[in-house]
Amino acid sequence: MIGRINHIAIAVPDVAAAAVRWRDMLGAEVSAPQTLPEHGVRVVFVTSPNGKVELMEPFGEASPLAGFLARNPDGGMHHICYEVDDIAIARAALEKSGARVLGDGSVKIGAHGTPVLFLHPKEFNGTLIELEQVAATGSDQQTR
């Protein structure tokens, strides 16, 4: 079901400062910041030859990252994103097997403009999993 790792996300208290550190100290290519109000985050992507790291800071009062950073003030690994060909099929198979989709269970649009959903970390050894559809299939992408 899952494809390649799309990115690993790291929660940070200040995305601009983190981007400078990754760029200047590691020589990484860093994208421009992007604010995703519907997800409650501000992000930059760090690109390397074999993958991406997403640096995320909370945005807005209801940001899901606020609690994470309250427990981990310096930040830390937040989630792993895997690619899938059809997110509706993946969601149905996962729910059938007992996995819990976070939020209201509906697919959202992520930072890359593609359908995403998150799976409860209790099913995956404490790791939050994001699934991102990489191939448009015309499936039931927005509805549950």
Active site residues: 130
- Number of Cβ within 10 Å of residue 51's Cβ equals 12
CB 48 within 8 A of CB 7: no
Extract the tokens encoding 28.
């990484």
CA–CA separation, 130 and 124 (whole Å): 11
Supply the Cα-derived Rg of the chain in whole angstroms: 15
Residue 64 burial by CB count (10 A; 0-12/13-18/19+): exposed, middle or buried? middle
Return the closest-CA partner of residue 133 out of 9, 2, 40: 2
